[in-house]
Structure formats: structure tokens, C-alpha cells
């Protein structure tokens, strides 16, 4: 492997690393009085998409948000956990399934997310 190939491989691995501080399970997100708050976003997709990347599984999380995209304009942030997509609870689904729901659904997506409360 050349130095260039080695650097490219390292760069790809870094991009695949999770942005999460720790793993969270669906039960933890749904615990009343827990350290998470629910937010709802209505995001109208544009010519290139919705402007965010979903990763993870049970629950999925927002891995990246395009700062100039529709999701950022709606208030979406990295590290939020995806609770529902267009009214369907997705806490027990993997990111491929959640992404497919978004990609095959209407141009406007309504998403509920949970994020850590700033106490």
C-alpha cells in the first residue's frame, strides 16, 4: 500500500466514525424525565436532497448536516436521534431502512428527533 492509499484509507475510516459520545438505546430515549428533549422538524427537500445523513441502528442518529441545506434551515443538528419519520416510529430500525423511508416518501419529510437537553 502506498502512502497516498494509506492516507485515503485513514481519511475514509475517520468519516465513518460515529459522532456520538456514547451508545444510547431506545428505552433510554423514551424514559420520562430523562436527559433528552423531543423536537419536530418539517423539511422540504430540494434538488439535491434534504441535507442530512442518517447512520446507526436502534436508534439511528444524525451523522452530518449540510450547513446550507434544508435540514440545517429547519434546525436539525448532528447527534440528534431519529424517533419518527412521517409519523412512523423508527427507533428500532437501522439507518438503511430509515434512509429508504425518507428517499421513497414525499418530498416534505416530518421528523421527530431527540437530543440531549442542555441543563
Q: What is the pLDDT of residues 62-93, one digit of tens each?
A: 999 999 999 999 999 999 999 999 999 999 99
| Within-domain flag for 25 | yes
CATH of the domain at 78: 2.30.42.10
| Within-domain flag for 3 | no
Q: What is the pLDDT of residues 24-70, one digit of tens each?
A: 899 998 888 889 999 999 999 999 999 999 999 999 999 999 999 99
Q: 88 lies in which domain range?
A: 20-116
| Within-domain flag for 41 | yes
CA distance 70 to 42: 9
The CB-side HSE value for 31 (13 A sphere, CA atoms) comes to 11
| Within-domain flag for 80 | yes
pTM: 0.82
| Within-domain flag for 7 | no
| Within-domain flag for 76 | yes
| Within-domain flag for 12 | no
Q: What is the number of domains present in the chain?
A: 1
Amino acid at each position: 500500500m502506498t502512502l497516498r492509499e494509506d492516507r485515503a484509507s485513514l481519511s475514509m475510516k475517520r468519516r465513518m466514525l460515529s459522532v456520538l459520545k456514547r451508545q444510547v438505546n431506545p428505552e433510554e430515549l423514551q424514559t420520562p424525565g430523562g436527559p433528552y428533549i423531543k423536537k419536530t422538524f418539517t423539511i422540504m427537500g430540494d434538488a439535491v436532497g434534504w441535507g442530512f445523513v442518517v447512520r446507526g441502528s436502534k436508534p439511528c442518529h444524525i451523522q452530518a448536516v449540510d450547513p446550507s441545506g434544508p435540514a440545517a434551515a429547519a434546525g436539525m443538528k448532528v447527534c440528534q436521534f431519529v424517533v419518527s419519520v412521517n409519523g412512523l416510529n423508527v427507533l428500532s430500525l437501522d439507518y438503511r431502512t430509515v434512509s429508504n423511508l425518507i428517499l421513497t416518501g414525499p418530498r416534505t419529510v416530518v421528523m421527530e428527533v431527540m437530543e440531549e437537553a442542555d441543563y
